[in-house]
Structure 1
Amino acid sequence: MSSGAEPDAAEPRSRAAAAVRAAVDRTTGSAAAILQLVVAVTIAYAVTHYLLGHQYPIAAVTVTLSSLGLVLDARPRRVLEMAIAMTIGIALSEVILLSFGQGIWQFALTVLAALLVTRALSPVPGLPIFAAVQAALVSLLPVPDGGPFTRTVDALVGGAVALACTAFLPRDPRRAARREALKFFAAFQGILSSIVAVLRLGDTATAEQALGRARTTQPLTEGWRASLDSAAAVARISPFLRRHRGELEAQQLMHTHMDHAVRNLRVVSRRLSTLPLEGPRPELAELFANLQSAVVLLAQSIDRPELRPAVRQGLVLVAITLDPRILSPGRPLAESAFVLSVRPLVLDLLAASGMPLDEARRTLPDITT
């Protein structure tokens, strides 16, 4: 009885431990963003309250916090767009307040104007909501002692502080880009590992699993791209990160080719799932094991670019064998097509390691003769 109850008791503890780990990971991962938010909102409050004499600078505080946020995408353009949208909402509200006073229909007009104007100005659907929230707050709160447009000034200060902190107190977005890259590479390596297992065991059920994993990689690709774009945008304006622009550009080039590579990996996985395996295929398994080793080194080369020549060497050794007449002599046509589908994948991996595509193509054996 006790042995049957133990797993039931262990499962909730396991879920609780996983939830705690996830909470800790979220908090530590956002530590830099939280610090930036605290410093930025304190500066915005100090400028508007102590320098400008505004007793309750609510707009400065809310615009600063909302513009920066906790998202990975902290690129200056996004921060600026958010600040402008909320400032427009506040200014529209103050114009309506000054012209028509406070009341229920004025409140409705304020929200309507904020939504219509910011929606017309921006294709981002979330911005009008932020603008309308700010406009509604201004419409509902009493007019401050400094006059209606005091809150517009506060909003401008909050936006300026948020943008300045993006440049001079950056979150080191390279760390986020590296984290997203390693998540992508872990998934890529996992798919290659599944393919190796399929070919070593001749297990078609595992081939379906590999295809299923390959189909889930697109969000990882997009997450890596978003974090890289954000890092590059911040590096363009931040004096502290400008020296890393070359490193980020190299990683953006790697991402472009890895995006192509993972698409080709899906093609390979799809062909493998339909391949009529009649037993283990050790030659093909060894080929994919070598690919996996090269991809492991390629992921490490994000931090250690000196590894890329070794990556290229390993991939070239794979590329020169990609001839179905050598790897699959006398095998069914489907297996020859499978071998041919690996060639574009290897080309993209070579390009991701820094080899020009023309040079990479020359490493492949000629199959036209």
Structure 2
Amino acid sequence: MTEVTPADDGPTPRRRRWDAAVRGSVDRTTGSLTAILQLVVAVTISYAVAHYALGHEFPIAAVTVSLSSLGLVLDARPRRVLETAIAMTIGITLSELILLSFGQGLWQFALTMFAVLAVTRALSPLPGIPIVAAVQAALVALTPIPPGGPFTRTADAVVGGLIALACTALLPRDPRRAARREALKFFSAFNALASSLATVLRLGDQRTAEVVLGRARETQHLVDQWKDSIDSAAAIARISPFLRKHRAELAELQVMQTNMDNAARNLRVVIRRLSVLPGGRARPEIAQVIAGVQSAGSMLAQSIDRPELRPIVRQSLVLIAITLDPRILVPEEPVSESALVVSIRPLVYDLLAASGMPAEEALRAFPDISH
């Protein structure tokens, strides 16, 4: 009798979750290796300068200010590093002043926390910065004055902040890679929405249109992440001698990001307008236009690494723009259909601008529908 072996149904859900968690851990670590190395170099130099050059036995503030100013976040732009370092130095200085004036104790500690939080909150709109400043102030308030005397820790904080800023310029974290990664995430979502919209128009499925609208509303955080990463890259390139040659490239990508933000908003307008139209009706002419938009968006994403593709993107978008006359595209259709076509024009304009076409030239690509 032949033995029957059970069919292999693949990994169990628990195993899949475990594999996904392991992959996530590996990706996080490898993606942060540059930042980790930058932090190690910064804290080592900060310790060496404060300990050996200044003669401070326990330069804790130098190390902690370097660590907290740089952090592991993607947004390590010089201004943010400098603001964090200044806030922490203010916290340490205020704590040392109160310690020197009133000594240690419960009410002195409470006064320190109030003063540091109030002052740094007044100086910074970011809610996290007063907290890191208060943490440093608490360390000063709760530990004895070091052998070097008052304000030794303030000097250490200045050292740590300056080293962190220097490492931002001289040992940058390749912010262009992070900006590219966030851009591709956005384009993936944008092009998927355009593809889904083309399918809805082709089939006339009203229920799916509402689902696509819900997905479209969730794309704003991708736009914001891309903006933060590209702004950070541009800010670092302004002070880093190693990234200065890429400033023109980053400026072009900032223009692309700004216009793609507008394009995402206008894509949501098109989807919203479609979702309120009568369902069960195919619109193949408009579906073809949106399919062209999706194709241009895919090529625009590729142009991040291959700028030579942008003229081709502009050419394909101009061919779409010249068709966006509702009198020609959807003749003898209701006003609502014409309004849908008109709502696509700003979307195509934004894509033309994102590809680098000047505003006046992009406007001339569209047929005049004013009369």
Q: How high is the TM-score relative to the length of structure 1? A: 0.95
Q: Letter of the aligned partner of 1:121 in structure 2?
A: L
**Aligned pair in 2 of structure 1 residues 3, 367: CA closer, same or farther (>3 Å)?**
farther
Q: Letter of the aligned partner of 2:12 in structure 1?
A: A
Q: Letter of the aligned partner of 2:89 in structure 1?
A: T
Separation in 2, partners of 1:318, 1:327 = 11
- Determine which of 6, 11, 15 is the counterpart of 2:13: 11
- Determine which of 325, 329, 332 is the counterpart of 1:330: 332
Separation in 2, partners of 1:3, 1:135 = 64
Separation in 1, partners of 2:158, 2:222 = 36
Pairing of 1:1-369 with structure 2 (within 5 A): 10-369=12-371
Deviation at 1:354, TM superposition (A): 1.0
Deviation at 1:121, TM superposition (A): 2.2
Whether contact under 8 Å (1:197, 1:206) holds in the other structure is no
Percent of residue pairs identical: 71
Separation in 1, partners of 2:88, 2:205 = 57
Whether contact under 8 Å (2:206, 2:280) holds in the other structure is no
Q: For 1:18-56, what per-residue CA distance to the aligned partner results, in whole angstroms no more than 9, with x for missing partners?
A: 222222222222111111111101110111112222111
Q: Letter of the aligned partner of 1:291 in structure 2?
A: V
SS in 2 for 1:74: coil
| Unmatched segments (≥5 aa) in structure 1 | none
Deviation at 1:4, TM superposition (A): 12
SS in 1 for 2:12: helix
Alignment root-mean-square deviation, CA: 1.8
Deviation at 1:5, TM superposition (A): 12
Deviation at 1:292, TM superposition (A): 0.9
Count of paired positions: 367
| Unmatched segments (≥5 aa) in structure 2 | none
Q: For 1:129-175, what per-residue CA distance to the aligned partner results, in whole angstroms no more than 9, with x for missing partners?
A: 11111111011112211112111111110001000000101111111
Q: For 1:97-126, what per-residue CA distance to the aligned partner results, in whole angstroms no more than 9, with x for missing partners?
A: 222222222212221221122122222222
Q: For 1:62-99, what per-residue CA distance to the aligned partner results, in whole angstroms no more than 9, with x for missing partners?
A: 10000001111111111011011111111111112222
Larger deviation: 24-33 or 131-140? 24-33
Separation in 1, partners of 2:41, 2:356 = 40
Q: Letter of the aligned partner of 2:293 in structure 1?
A: L
Deviation at 1:281, TM superposition (A): 2.5
Q: Letter of the aligned partner of 1:345 in structure 2?
A: L
Deviation at 1:238, TM superposition (A): 0.5
Whether contact under 8 Å (2:205, 2:280) holds in the other structure is no
Q: How high is the TM-score relative to the length of structure 2? A: 0.95
